[in-house]
A and B are shown apart, each in its own frame.
Chain A
Amino acid sequence: MRLQRETRNTRDGYAAALLELGEKDERIVVLDADLAKSTQTEKFKQRFPERFVDCGVAEQNLMATAAGLAATGKIVFASTFAVFATGRAYDQVRNNIAYSNLDVKICASHGGITVGEDGSSHQALEDITLMRAVPRMKVVVPADYYETREAVKAVAYIPGPAYVRMGRPKVPVLFDEGYRFEFGKARVMRGGRDVTVIACGYMLHQALDAAEELAREGIEAEVLNLHTVKPLDREGILESVSRTGRVVSCEEHSVLGGVGGAVAELLVEELPTPMRMIGIRDSFGTSGTAEELVEHFGLDAHHIAEVVRGFLA
């Protein structure tokens, strides 16, 4: 039996951070592309209408406009769904925002398969790969309401571009009011000596549940919260893996070049280690409820536990 946990939207954490930032800092400007209700930037719009611009259904223009605003000294938050922020506007993000190293914080909602019923066109499964590949881009995938709130406040003042990926569904609250977000530092959520399970975002609570399940069988999984996918916490990962000797990465994303890819790139050069990757295997998404899809694509805790068992056997 799993504990009933409180659940909240990561997007609400984003909205809370924006209000806090906007109150303290005149330079904070927020842009959206006709999805202000979904991304929750609407709350900022209501409080600071003069520092909010709705660019309409025009994501490429959204990102290029954000670049220009940032060039006038503003700290710009640009929001839309993850698939459009990183896919449709990729070139604007790369050539306008990152190449000029501008203070644009791309905070996208609806990342991953848990978008659900809208189906493949709206499910971003390659966004982490795309953003990770852009020089100067930082990539953060927070796991709950509090981590999102604190991560957004942190990236606001880390110079240059950043990508923050949020999801659609409510997710279990794992942290609390006093949570301290350490940018670039993987957080050990649970110690263990048999295997290192690396997860972030939506997958973190699934990984923790899997570890719980495994613990009952005597398998001790160490769970790392890799909230910052880039820059990668090389020391943190190497330290854990050198003790456990086995790694399993979990991402609500394609396994091609994403979270697992980042970890594998590090290990293959520094500490070749047997590894398994959990994620979407080179395929588009599909329509269904978030819970159904999580199971369908093998992202649920039971499947993670099963992979670990098979790996250690």
Chain B
Amino acid sequence: MIIPMRRPEGAAAREMEEKELREYLENIAKEVRWDIVRMIGLAGSGHPGGSLSCADILVCLYFHKMNHDPGRPDWRHRDRFVLSKGHAAPALYAVLARSGYFDREELWKLRRLGSMLQGHPDRLKTPGVEISTGSLGQGLAAAVGMALGLRMEGNPAHVYALIGDGESQEGGIWEAAMLAGHQRLRNLTAILDHNGLQIDGRCCEVLDLGDIASRWRAFGWEVLEVNGHDVLEICCALDKADEFDRPGMIIAHTVKGKGVSFMENNVDFHGKAPTPEEMEKALKEIEGS
């Protein structure tokens, strides 16, 4: 027999709920990181750095914030997520599998001929992928289009988009930002995976984004900044963004390769798979974390 626990009330209740939520999301994030590393390791190619840096954000979206139903990927009222930085596909595949959009065993066929999991997201092959991406700088504009479409039909669903900091050098990002700001798209929230690195080196050395928060504000967006690895901070910002009267930008300060010491802040692991030995080492490290 299960004896019902007396729930604490007020501030104590909130504290407990927060603790539970943190544990719940952090556990999933750990499993997602494990899946990402194994998936890319087995595939022998892929982008571990930018997948690991956005893992916590995607977990908060799919396991806390978003209104979605893995059994009905085409449900009209679902919230939409667009992975504008499409090379982080492994992170998306891991959360989709764990949500129940498809069998987790599919993950180990990543990037293989005939696999439903392509090198970059393909909406025709993978249930749960809203739009195909991989060419940087276009996903945010597609999210703007979705937000416009939903608003036109009075659909209450919200649209989320994840962009990269290197990706933010694309002019298309700023064209989309201007349109969303002008249209006051309050049903759109973008998240910037601000890990400070791109392929050729540090973003600030290749092509500096400057005062990025001010730039988004100047384009008519409400801006929040969070630690992109603190799940409660991320959830809190996502909740706040619901209240904005305009599009919201959450600047998530992240570490590229987060969770695997030899990949952290290491530009070499942008687009390189771990060797079998490195993979084992990384998986052990994640298990022990």
Q: Chain A: residues with CB nearer than 8 A to chain B?
A: 32, 34-38, 42, 54-58, 60-61, 83-84, 87-88, 116-122, 286-289, 292-293, 296
A61 touches B119 (CB 8 A): no
Kindly state whether residue B170 has any CB partner on chain A within 8 Å.
yes
Number of B interface residues at 8 Å Cβ cutoff, please give it.
Answer: 30
Known A-B contacts A34-B166, A88-B135, A117-B43; A286 and B113 likewise in contact (beta carbons under 8 Å) = yes
Closest Cβ of chain A to B62, distance in Å, is 23
A11 to B131, CA, bound (A): 32
B134 touches A55 (CB 8 A): no
The residue of chain A having its C-beta at the shortest distance from the C-beta of B201 within the complex is A54
Name the contact of B113 in the complex, choosing from A55, A83, A87, A287 (C-beta under 8 A).
A287
A57 touches B171 (CB 8 A): no
A56 touches B206 (CB 8 A): yes
For chain A, what secondary structure do more than half of its interface residues adopt (helix, strand, loop), or is it mixed?
helix
B135 touches A83 (CB 8 A): yes
Name the contact of B137 in the complex, choosing from A55, A57, A121, A293 (C-beta under 8 A).
A57
Closest Cβ of chain A to B172, distance in Å, is 8
Kindly state whether residue B46 has any CB partner on chain A within 8 Å.
yes
A44 to B115, CA, bound (A): 38
A122 to B45, CA, bound (A): 14
The residue of chain B having its C-beta at the shortest distance from the C-beta of A45 within the complex is B200
Residues of B107-142 at the interface with A, using a CB-CB cut-off of 8 Å, are 111-115, 118-120, 122, 132-137
A83 to B119, CA, bound (A): 15
Closest Cβ of chain B to A31, distance in Å, is 12
Closest Cβ of chain A to B163, distance in Å, is 11
Question: In the complex, what residues of B have CB within 8 A of residue A88's CB?
Answer: 135
Kindly state whether residue B198 has any CB partner on chain A within 8 Å.
yes
Kindly state whether residue B207 has any CB partner on chain A within 8 Å.
yes
Question: In the complex, what residues of B have CB within 8 A of residue A119's CB?
Answer: 111, 118-120, 122, 134
Question: In the complex, what residues of B have CB within 8 A of residue A56's CB?
Answer: 166, 169, 198, 206-207
Known A-B contacts A58-B169, A88-B135; A118 and B206 likewise in contact (beta carbons under 8 Å) = no
Question: In the complex, what residues of A have CB within 8 A of residue B113's CB?
Answer: 286-289, 292-293, 296
Known A-B contacts A34-B206, A117-B46, A287-B118; A57 and B135 likewise in contact (beta carbons under 8 Å) = no
A/B pair count, beta carbons within 8 Å: 88
B120 touches A54 (CB 8 A): no
Closest Cβ of chain B to A8, distance in Å, is 21
Residues of B159-213 at the interface with A, using a CB-CB cut-off of 8 Å, are 166-167, 169-171, 198-200, 206-207
Kindly state whether residue B49 has any CB partner on chain A within 8 Å.
no
B112 touches A287 (CB 8 A): yes
A286 touches B118 (CB 8 A): yes
The residue of chain B having its C-beta at the shortest distance from the C-beta of A122 within the complex is B134
A34 touches B135 (CB 8 A): no
A54 touches B122 (CB 8 A): no
Closest Cβ of chain B to A269, distance in Å, is 37
A34 touches B111 (CB 8 A): no
Closest Cβ of chain A to B134, distance in Å, is 3
Binary contact readout B64-90 vs A (1 if CB under 8 angstroms, 0 otherwise): 000000000000000000000010000
B111 touches A117 (CB 8 A): yes
Closest Cβ of chain A to B184, distance in Å, is 27
Name the contact of A122 in the complex, choosing from B43, B119, B167 (C-beta under 8 A).
B119
B199 touches A121 (CB 8 A): no
Question: In the complex, what residues of A have CB within 8 A of residue B118's CB?
Answer: 119-120, 286-287
Name the contact of B199 in the complex, choosing from A37, A84, A288 (C-beta under 8 A).
A37
Closest Cβ of chain B to A274, distance in Å, is 33
Question: In the complex, what residues of B have CB within 8 A of residue A83's CB?
Answer: 135
A296 to B112, CA, bound (A): 12
Known A-B contacts A58-B207, A60-B171, A287-B115; A117 and B45 likewise in contact (beta carbons under 8 Å) = yes
Question: In the complex, what residues of A have CB within 8 A of residue B206's CB?
Answer: 34, 54, 56
A57 touches B134 (CB 8 A): no
A59 to B170, CA, bound (A): 8
Q: List 18 A-B contacts (CB under 8 A).
A: A42-B200, A54-B200, A56-B206, A57-B198, A58-B169, A58-B207, A87-B135, A116-B45, A117-B46, A117-B111, A119-B122, A120-B118, A120-B134, A121-B132, A122-B120, A286-B118, A287-B111, A288-B113
Question: In the complex, what residues of A have CB within 8 A of residue B114's CB?
Answer: 286, 288
B199 touches A58 (CB 8 A): no
The residue of chain A having its C-beta at the shortest distance from the C-beta of B86 within the complex is A121
Closest Cβ of chain B to A141, distance in Å, is 22
Q: Which of A32, A37, A121, A296 has the most CB of B within 10 A?
A: A121
A57 touches B170 (CB 8 A): yes
A152 to B285, CA, bound (A): 47
Known A-B contacts A117-B111, A118-B119; A54 and B134 likewise in contact (beta carbons under 8 Å) = no
Extra inter-chain contacts (4) besides given A38-B199, A88-B135, A287-B119, CB under 8 Å: A36-B200, A117-B44, A119-B118, A121-B120
The residue of chain A having its C-beta at the shortest distance from the C-beta of B270 within the complex is A37
A121 touches B133 (CB 8 A): yes
Known A-B contacts A36-B200, A289-B113; A120 and B122 likewise in contact (beta carbons under 8 Å) = yes
The residue of chain A having its C-beta at the shortest distance from the C-beta of B44 within the complex is A117
The residue of chain A having its C-beta at the shortest distance from the C-beta of B273 within the complex is A117
A202 to B263, CA, bound (A): 34
